[in-house]
């Protein structure tokens, strides 16, 4: 009889203790689908955008500032050796000149 009580007590103790860990969720995780890669565009096909700030600094009596696409365009616009070009200037609109 003491053995039966001991067994019953252990059984009640095991049933009374909650599970230590929740069952593991084995379902696959759903992620957002990745966008399909786009074909690279050639530089000739894409329109040039004026995103660089060009300043002609030879004539210091006036401000000659424009938004251009490259340093070469800036140099040819200023037509002097004194010019400054800042690529990706946030103050330039994204429009071609």
Indicate the domain borders of the chain: 47-97
Closest CA to 86 of 47, 51, 49: 51
The Cα 76–Cα 85 span in angstroms is 12
pTM here is 0.45
pLDDT per residue as tens digits for the range 1-56: 677 777 777 666 666 665 555 667 777 777 777 777 766 555 554 455 668 889 99
């Amino acid at each position: 009889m003491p053995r039966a009580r001991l067994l019953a007590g252990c059984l009640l103790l095991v049933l009374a203790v909650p599970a230590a860990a929740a069952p593991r969720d084995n379902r696959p995780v759903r992620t957002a689908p990745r966008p399909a890669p786009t074909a690279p565009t050639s530089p000739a096909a894409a329109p040039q955008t004026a995103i660089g700030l060009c300043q002609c600094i030879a004539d210091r009596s006036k401000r000659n500032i424009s938004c251009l696409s490259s340093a070469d365009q800036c140099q040819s616009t200023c037509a002097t050796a004194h010019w400054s070009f800042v690529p990706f200037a946030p103050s330039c609109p994204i429009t071609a000149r």
